[in-house]
Structure 1
């Protein structure tokens, strides 16, 4: 049975991703920074008959929490097949290049960028024990610098600066990580789940949580011939599914 760790999985897209992977036979370690919320999420899944799941406390903003989560997971399994870096924040809005305080930039980057790096580095040894390791970095279409430079793009006017910077940085990290692991069985990709109706955006998005999670699951379950170092986005590129960086 393959194993997967999903950060920020006690609700929304992360929770639905856990559900769909459980339905495909994965053993899910459901990451949540709050123990009670994580346990509540696990109970909901178990009530559906999806029992191969347990909660792992992990706060991606806290290096000590990440280290503790690695120690706990290491006591439960010697192999991690999939890491889904899903935890993320938008930061307070609006965000402009000149008025947004530097502290707001640091807060968003801490979660969306530095947190991903620390989690990936902490769990890479367990991932290396897998025969088909997968790393999925949940990004956003707003992380595309190419599209942000195109006045014809449908989201051209949407520029929350700190969030855009954090996801663009995450995309850059994904490219380099995939390159560093190119001669291994790893598949490392960034996935834009699309503009989805969640708490993240006050349920303003037109997309559904199941559809968004399905995009993440697709990247998490790629076969040995699947691509690596890609930016998947059905929203930005409905014909090819591959967004420009």
Structure 2
């Protein structure tokens, strides 16, 4: 029995290396193949990274080229102006624009005032051609006779140059405060209807009694009346009256609405 087992064991031991050798060779071939594939993959990865870096570098160069092409051609000194200088320049431009705008507004206001003065002058010239009749009894189209009493106040000295003073620009003031110049219906004490008065004419006392006074002329941007005079309302006109003689010292036609 031993004779048979010993040769059998020896035969199996001799066959084991022969069987293992092909499997080892196969394993070595697979390992080499995997290593080769891994090296190729790494090489491809490196090439991809290099290509990506080159692409990014090219993009940056293209952007720099575009920026250079779009950059203004002004000198470098102009581009280096400080923020304070820029703000000062802007403020100067704004001030210049505001000055020009104010000048244009003033020119328009002067033109409007000049046209208004010319219209008032033409109206006064037309009305001066009609001299009212002096009468001792009130009747339409007449004026009372000059007073015979002694004057206890100084004569009135009045200058109509106040119309050219922008402080008394009642026309523009009226445009912004229309309700102030809307005083409602006018009550004529004699019922004669509107009879326009000119400077130098005398009014009947009933027309300048206290119920017709403009107690605050500045409210309408009118100059304050000198002593012995009063601003009154006569229909839509504003009239400055000498309270002693009833004489019209100044008049603004179509003053109220």
**TM-score tier after normalising by the smaller chain length:** under 0.3
Instruction: Specify which structure has the bigger relative contact order, considering alpha-carbon pairs within 8 angstroms and separated by 6 or more residues.
Output: 1
TM-score using structure 1 length: 0.22
Q: TM-score, with normalisation over the residues of structure 2?
A: 0.21
Query: More strand per residue: 1 or 2?
Result: 1
